[in-house]
Every structure is written in structure tokens, then in C-alpha cells.
């Protein structure tokens, strides 16, 4: 629905000179916030609608963490479609299937995990660059390398750094789920900070969990859900893929911790409960 | 009784559990209630929509800085905080400062906003032909090889801050009286 709305806006912009789709980017609100508060002006290429959307993202993050990324972000959907399509093609073409299997077998899992962990810091770097840069210079410094901007202005094709980043993101998305969300999205970083206050999270019930790790495999952000009790990772986008993939239905549920609900006493966690599978005892 | 899990010994610190207790994954200390998935999805969809509606009601929902008259050639910049009603009313509002000059504004908009700037000077600065129509948008001129907007703003700032007499002296000889 959001993708359709943005596509309609971009088409209108190209054909009729309507407002640019950039005005619908919530991150523009965060970029322009300092300039708006201190001078009353908007950073170039941002509009008041960006501020409204930024507030909407904050409200959403306060209630349900990164749910904006999982349910509303059109660029996340773009990457997800690319990945799903690539996987579907690889499933149906035997040489690609064999190549994928060979890569999986030969890849160094530990090296990849370390690389992945280091690359995930990129979100914070990009966030700092975008916010501080916009505050200091009064312009959207991230725009030169923003793949979302490049995608919005694809009709006015121009070989630029932003377009290069878009191509790299698209290629990576064929192999990795949501690469930009994982490693570079500053809006995801903002939600990771604000979402710490969210009362809603996915919880794993160890009593009914079979430890099959299908939830972990389904997670587009590669969170090891099957080792968590309450998924409060900053990377969680609340997409519920893990919940949908869980074969033991009540094992993963969306739960809300309201302020009126008092915390359990410290000893309550050690109450005896049946342990269905040794695999579920992996991480305590 | 030590927490070893199975027959194979597990390295690391040994946790002690009360007698007749079995090891289970740590439970959260928060008291939580299950939230139906449909309620979760409804929350995700409704909350942003409510914020946007509130923004519209407060007059903050603007996707563009131009009013309707901008497309018609006269142009207008809606003030931040002015509501959709203000935009719809299309009250012509010229830029008040060189920093407010936007690409969608026309040559006429700039001339109206800065009376000290003459059409010939502006078009010369923009590297545009002298017979360029006044309703032409600045971004159109820039795309056709004219100067970019930051350069134009800098020039306008210098020109506006300069006294009228000095501006006349520094005007190109071709346009001087």
C-alpha cells in the first residue's frame, strides 16, 4: 500500500511536477530537525511532511520497535522483493541451486559472522554522518549517497554515487536479506534507539519451543531468535516472520509489558518448567 | 546438583540449582500479556495514520513548498507551519530571503521578491538567454546549462545586501544606461 502510494507520488512528480517522493521520507524529518528548531527553516529537499512522518516513526518505535521497517518501509520492501525473487529463481534453476549450496558449504561461517557484526555498526556511522552533517552544513549530506533518493529519481537517470549505492544494494539483496537495513539505514538506527522503550516484543516460551531454529532461519535480520527469551534486539523489525515460521504455535508470541503489570519477583524465573528438547537449552 | 545438561561435561562456570529443579532458559522478569497479531498489525497501521491525520489537522502536512500558483507561473512559497488550507488558498508569497529561493520558483518570482535585481542582471547571472520568459522556472534554466541554485543564492545575497547605487555601478556595461 505504501509502495503504491510512493509510486503514485513519484509518477506524479515525473509527469505533472507534483511533490517529490523525498517529501515522504521520515528520515528527512530527523535531518532537518536541528535546523528547523534553531532557525525555523527546513533543510533543502525536506518538507514539513517529513517532520510529521518522523514523529509517526518515533511514536511507532516507542510502541513496537522497528515495525516501520518491517511493515511500512518501501525501500525495505524493495530489497525483500529482490531477495525473494532471487531465491525463487535459485530454487528453480539447478545450476544456481548447486552454486548456492556450494557457497553455503564452503563459506566460513565464523568469518561471516564477524564481518556481519562489524558491518552492522555502519548504521550508527551513517546516522551520525547524516544528522551531524545536516546540522553543520544545513544540507542533506546523505543525499549524495542515498539509494532511496536514487530509486525515486530513477526516471531522471544520472550516474551518481547514490545510484552506485542503489546498484550495490540491489546486488547484495539478491544474496542477503535487507542489506541496506542491516548495515546502512540511519532510520533503522533511530528506531533502534527509540525502540528500547517499547513495551511490545516477541517472546519465546521455552516450555513449548522445540529448538528447531526455523525462526532464526526465517528472520530477515538474522537475529538468533531461538536463543532469545524476549527479542529486544535493536535489529528486530517486528515483521513476525519468526512467529509465522514457528511450527510450535504458542512458542513465539507478541507480548506487551504494560507499566501497570509489575515485574515478576526475581525468583520467579527459576520456577520448574518442563524442558521439551535439549536444543532449546542452548543459550540461557 | 550441578547444571551440566547431559552426560558430557560443559566447560565454564557451574550453576547451582535447588534440588529437584531442572535447567530452563531464563525467563523475562517482565510481566507480559499476549497481544493478538491482528491487534499488533492494526497498531502498526493505525498509529502512523493517526499521527499523519493529526499533522494534517495541525496544518503541518505539506509535501511541497510551493502553492498552487507556483505551477501557474507566479509561484508561492508556503510558510512552514501554514496549513493545507493556506496552500490551497494559494496566496502568492515570494521568497523573503535569498536562502528561500527554490528551483520551482520562476524568474518572475525572484524579480518580485528582490526589486533591486533587474531581469537582465538575473538572466545574465543565470547564463540564460536575455529573451527567457519570466515564468520560466529556475531549475529549468539550471538544467539547460545555467548556474546552480546555491550559486544564485550567493549572488542574490551579495546583491541584496549591496546598496542600490553600488549595484548599479557593478552592473554589466551592456545593461547600464
pLDDT tier at A81 (50, 70, 90 boundaries)? very high
Domain that includes residue B110, residue range: 98-162
Q: Which of A51, A206, A257 lies at the smallest CB-CB distance from B31?
A: A257
Residues B119-144 have a mean pLDDT of 82
Q: pLDDT tens across A104-124, in order?
A: 777 777 788 888 889 999 999
Q: B87 and B107 share a domain?
A: no
Mutate to test the interface with B, among A52, A58, A228, A281 (most CBs of B within 10 A): A52
Q: Is residue B149 part of a domain?
A: yes
Q: B107 and B158 share a domain?
A: yes
Q: B151 and B107 share a domain?
A: yes
Contact A216, A210 (CB under 8 A): no
**H helices within chain A, ranges in order?**
2-16, 26-39, 48-64, 67, 74-92, 94-106, 109-119, 122-137, 147-152, 161-175, 179-183, 186-194, 214-218, 241-245
Give the gap in angstroms from C-alpha A130 to the nearest C-alpha of chain B: 20
Q: How far apart, in whole angstroms, are the C-alpha atoms of residue A169 and residue A163? A: 10
Q: B107 and B130 share a domain?
A: yes
Q: Is residue B157 part of a domain?
A: yes
Q: How far apart, in whole angstroms, are the C-alpha atoms of residue B129 and residue B136? A: 12
pLDDT at A249: 78
- Name the B residues in 78-107 with CB < 8 Å from any A CB: 80-81, 99, 104
Residues B49-74 have a mean pLDDT of 68
Q: pLDDT tens across A168-217, in order?
A: 999 999 988 899 999 999 999 999 999 988 889 999 888 888 888 899 99
Q: Cβ contact (<8 Å) for B34 and A240?
A: no
pLDDT tier at B141 (50, 70, 90 boundaries)? confident
Residues of A in contact with B36 (CB under 8 A): 254
Question: Structurally, how many domains does chain B consist of?
Answer: 2
Q: Is the pLDDT of residue B133 over 50?
A: yes
Q: Is residue B176 part of a domain?
A: no
Q: Is residue B115 part of a domain?
A: yes
Q: pLDDT tens across B11-54, in order?
A: 655 556 566 665 555 455 677 888 898 999 999 999 999 999 99
Q: What is the mean pLDDT of chain B?
A: 68
Q: Is residue B68 part of a domain?
A: yes
Q: How far apart, in whole angstroms, are the C-alpha atoms of residue A14 and residue A86? A: 29
Q: B108 and B134 share a domain?
A: yes
Contact A205, A251 (CB under 8 A): yes
Q: B69 and B124 share a domain?
A: no
Residues of B in contact with A56 (CB under 8 A): 47-48, 51-52, 55
- Name the B residues in 131-150 with CB < 8 Å from any A CB: none
As a whole-number percent, the residues of chain A with pLDDT over 90 amount to: 27
Q: B113 and B154 share a domain?
A: yes
Residues A136-149 have a mean pLDDT of 85
Q: Cβ contact (<8 Å) for A55 and B51?
A: yes
Residues of B in contact with A256 (CB under 8 A): 32-33, 35
Residues of B in contact with A40 (CB under 8 A): 80
Do you know the residue count of chain B?
A: 177
Q: How far apart, in whole angstroms, are the C-alpha atoms of residue A200 and residue A96? A: 40
pLDDT at A37: 86
Q: B118 and B133 share a domain?
A: yes
Residues of A in contact with B37 (CB under 8 A): 240, 243, 254
Q: Cβ contact (<8 Å) for A281 and B25?
A: yes
Contact A22, A149 (CB under 8 A): yes
pLDDT tier at B88 (50, 70, 90 boundaries)? very low
Q: Is the pLDDT of residue B67 over 50?
A: no
- Here the cell at position B27 is 525467563
Instruction: Please indicate whether residue A156 or residue A50 has the higher confidence score (pLDDT).
Output: A50
pLDDT tier at A54 (50, 70, 90 boundaries)? very high
Residues B93-103 have a mean pLDDT of 70
Least confident of A73-87, A89-103, B83-97, B103-117: B83-97
Q: B83 and B44 share a domain?
A: yes
Reference B26, options A267, A247, A201; nearest CA is A267
Q: How far apart, in whole angstroms, are the C-alpha atoms of residue A264 and residue A279? A: 26
Residues A145-152 have a mean pLDDT of 85
Q: How far apart, in whole angstroms, are the C-alpha atoms of residue A137 and residue B21? A: 61
Supply the ipTM of this predicted assembly: 0.78
Contact A32, A48 (CB under 8 A): no
Which run of H or of E encompasses A203?
A: strand A200-204
φ and ψ of A154, to 5 deg: -65, -30
Residues of A in contact with B47 (CB under 8 A): 56, 59-60, 63
DSSP string, A222-276: ---GGG-SEE--TT-----HHHHH-SSGGGEEEEE--TTSPPPPGGGGG------
Q: Is the pLDDT of residue A250 over 90?
A: no
Q: Cβ contact (<8 Å) for A41 and B48?
A: no
Instruction: Please indicate whether residue B124 or residue B8 has the higher confidence score (pLDDT).
Output: B124
Contact B62, A49 (CB under 8 A): yes
Q: B60 and B106 share a domain?
A: no
Reference A204, options A260, A263, A262, A277; nearest CA is A277
Q: B67 and B102 share a domain?
A: no
Amino acid at each position: 500500500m505504501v509502495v503504491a502510494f510512493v509510486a503514485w507520488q513519484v509518477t506524479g512528480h515525473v509527469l505533472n511536477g507534483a511533490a517529490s517522493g523525498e517529501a515522504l521520507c521520515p528520515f528527512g524529518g530527523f535531518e532537518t530537525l536541528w535546523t528547523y528548531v534553531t532557525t525555523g527553516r527546513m533543510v533543502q529537499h525536506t518538507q514539513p511532511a517529513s517532520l510529521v512522518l518522523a514523529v509517526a516513526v518515533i511514536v511507532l518505535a516507542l510502541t513496537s520497535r522497528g515495525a516501520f521497517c518491517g511493515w511500512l518501509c518501501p525501500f525495505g520492501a524493495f530489497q525483500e522483493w529482490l531477495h525473494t525473487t532471487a531465491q525463487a529463481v535459485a530454487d528453480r534453476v539447478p545450476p544456481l541451486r548447486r552454486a548456492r549450496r556450494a557457497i553455503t558449504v564452503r563459506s566460513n561461517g565464523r568469518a561471516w559472522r564477524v564481518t556481519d557484526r562489524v558491518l552492522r555498526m555502519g548504521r550508527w556511522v551513517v546516522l551520525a554522518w547524516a544528522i551531524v552533517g545536516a546540522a553543520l552544513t544545513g544540507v542533506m549530506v546523505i543525499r549524495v549517497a542515498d539509494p532511496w533518493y536514487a530509486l525515486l529519481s530513477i526516471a531522471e537517470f544520472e550516474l551518481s554515487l547514490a545510484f552506485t549505492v542503489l546498484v550495490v544494494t540491489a546486488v547484495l539483496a539478491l544474496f542477503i536479506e535487507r542489506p541496506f537495513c542491516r548495515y546502512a539505514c540511519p532510520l533503522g538506527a533511530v528506531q533502534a534507539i527509540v525502540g528500547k522503550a517499547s513495551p511490545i516484543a516477541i517472546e519465546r516460551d521455552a516450555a513449548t519451543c522445540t529448538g528447531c531454529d526455523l525462526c532464526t532461519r526465517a528472520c530477515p535480520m538474522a537475529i538468533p531468535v531461538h536463543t532469545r527469551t524476549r527479542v529486544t534486539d535493536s535489529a528486530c523489525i517486528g515483521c513476525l516472520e519468526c512467529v509465522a515460521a514457528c511450527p510450535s504455535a504458542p512458542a513465539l508470541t507478541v507480548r506487551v509489558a504494560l507499566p501497570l503489570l509489575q515485574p515478576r519477583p526475581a525468583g520467579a524465573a527459576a520456577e520448574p518448567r518442563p524442558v521439551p528438547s535439549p536444543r532449546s537449552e542452548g543459550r540461557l | 546438583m550441578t547444571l551440566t545438561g547431559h552426560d558430557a561435561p560443559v566447560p565454564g562456570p557451574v550453576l547451582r540449582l535447588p534440588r529437584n529443579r531442572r535447567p530452563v532458559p531464563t525467563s523475562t522478569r517482565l510481566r507480559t500479556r499476549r497481544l493478538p497479531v491482528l491487534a499488533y498489525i492494526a497498531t502498526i497501521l493505525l498509529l502512523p495514520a493517526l499521527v499523519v491525520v493529526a499533522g494534517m489537522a495541525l496544518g503541518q502536512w505539506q509535501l511541497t513548498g510551493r502553492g498552487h500558483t507556483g505551477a501557474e507561473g507566479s509561484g508561492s512559497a508556503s510558510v512552514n507551519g501554514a496549513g493545507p488550507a493556506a496552500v490551497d488558498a494559494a496566496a502568492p508569497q515570494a521568497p523573503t530571503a535569498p536562502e528561500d529561493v527554490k528551483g520551482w520558483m520562476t524568474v518572475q518570482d525572484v524579480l518580485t521578491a528582490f526589486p533591486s535585481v533587474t531581469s537582465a542582471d538575473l538572466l545574465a547571472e543565470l547564463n540564460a538567454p536575455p529573451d527567457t520568459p519570466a515564468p520560466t522556472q529556475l531549475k529549468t534554466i539550471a538544467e539547460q546549462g545555467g548556474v546552480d541554485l546555491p550559486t544564485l543564492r550567493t549572488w542574490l545575497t551579495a546583491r541584496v545586501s549591496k546598496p542600490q547605487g553600488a549595484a548599479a555601478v557593478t552592473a554589466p556595461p551592456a545593461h547600464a544606461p
